[in-house]
Amino acid sequence: MPPTVSSHMRSDVTTVSSSDTLVDLERILTAEGIGGVPVVDDGALVGVVSRSDIVRRMAVEQSRAEMVSDFYRDPDWTGQGDHGEDVAEIGAMAGQQLQGLHVRDIMSSQIIATTPVATLQEAAALLLEHRIHRVPVTEDGRLRGILSTQDLVRFVANG
């Protein structure tokens, strides 16, 4: 019988709420030494969030800031963007602090999950296909655990 997810998943899962701030999220990721966590609201799995999501959001904010600074550097700038938008309004959006954002603002709500009875090979295929590093393990719509690439490497290393 092939090894199953239930025999290699971690059931003591650290989770966050969608209303947690990104500052809280980063504090949790650092304290736990992990790169991502499931997002659970009222006992239901509603998403997954990782450091990659934070970095992606930072890149968007940086891009907005650069766009605004380009307007101000243009000697022909009239105060309006190419489509009539007010540059000050764009600048306000670009200056939005990550500290004011919440997990819901950056999490992935498209949940890729597996079940406890799935084989490790099936779970590994999910990770590979979706290019993710962890997969929540659910049963009857509830979070039961998590399986990460590290768990799979540990299984292979221990033979």
The parent domain of residue 20 ranges over: 5-157
Please give the model's pTM, rounded to 2 decimal places.
Answer: 0.75
The rounded Cα 70 to chain-centroid distance in angstroms is 30
pLDDT of 23 reads 87
Q: What separation in angstroms does the CA of 30 have from each of 22, 59, 68, 83, 131?
A: 12, 21, 33, 42, 22
- Predicted confidence at residue 56, as pLDDT, reads 78
For residue 152, the Cα-to-chain-centroid distance in whole angstroms is: 20
Query: Residue 79's pLDDT is what?
Result: 52
Q: What is the mean pLDDT of residues 51-65?
A: 73
- Name the domain count of the chain: 1
The rounded mean pLDDT for the chain is 83
What CATH number does the domain containing 116 carry?
Answer: 3.10.580.10
Q: What is the pLDDT of residue 84?
A: 47
Q: Is the dihedral of CA 104, 108, 109, 113 positive or negative?
A: negative
Contact 148, 9 (CB under 8 A): no
Q: What is the pLDDT of residues 111-127, one digit of tens each?
A: 999 999 999 999 999 99
pLDDT digits (tens, 9 = 90+) for 72-103: 555 655 555 554 455 555 445 444 556 688 99
Percent of the chain with pLDDT over 90: 62
